[in-house]
Chain A
Amino acid sequence: KNEVEQSPQNLTAQEGEFITINCSYSVGISALHWLQQHPGGGIVSLFMLSSGKKKHGRLIATINIQEKHSSLHITASHPRDSAVYICAVLKAAGNKLTFGGGTRVLVKP
């Protein structure tokens, strides 16, 4: 079983809809990243969090350390949000990231 699991693997939404992507992990961590990758593009770090909630524009990331679970929410989704979203965890006292399989999001106009 993978140490980091994301769901769903694929998601299609209509423009304006609220989107939620989930990430569950089974190891002790010091931080969790949410990353975004557009088709053919490099990876951009959206959030790094170790507790609570962070918000940037229409994106919100939450983490529940006790439940080993994080969510990424996109409010008022837009076609330019179409990308692969990747959850990655930094294991406690480590330098290396462990990645989830990614969620491919398509937002239709």
Chain B
Amino acid sequence: DVKVTQSSRYLVKRTGEKVFLECVQDMDHENMFWYRQDPGLGLRLIYFSYDVKMKEKGDIPEGYSVSREKKERFSLILESASTNQTSMYLCASSHTPDRVHYSARNEQFFGPGTRLTVL
């Protein structure tokens, strides 16, 4: 079974604190993703990584950074947390499709989510 784990289910931080959200996957996936989910806005991509030390901005990268030092781990960093970053954060991972197995390999597997509250 694919497993994507996140370091915390619930987290409460204060404005201005530096926050680290960790995600680990055990399926040797090349791609890893960080999303946030807010009522009425659905899931939005913050950053993704397609290889170790490689990253690409998603739709809403402002206020966030990421780190991918090892293939299995993808960290989301809030340098100075703000109240508008209160949200549910979801990590996901997938293989990079190859030409033969394109559709079978691009399924994304999601972690359980971290509900972050910034006071």
Contact = CB atoms under 8 A, between A and B. Distances in A.
Given A42-B111, A48-B107, A99 B102 contact: no
Interface residues of A, number: 22
| Secondary structure of the A contact surface, majority rule | strand
A33 B108 contact: yes
Interface string A81-109: 00000101010000111011110000000
Given A30-B97, A48-B103, A48-B106, 14 more contacts: A31-B103, A31-B106, A33-B108, A41-B112, A42-B112, A42-B113, A45-B109, A48-B107, A95-B31, A97-B45, A97-B108, A99-B44, A101-B40, A101-B42
Closest 6 pairs (CB-CB, A-B): A42-B112, A43-B110, A99-B43, A48-B107, A50-B103, A101-B42
Interface of B: 31, 33, 40, 42-45, 48, 50, 58, 90, 92, 94, 96-97, 102-103, 106-113, 115
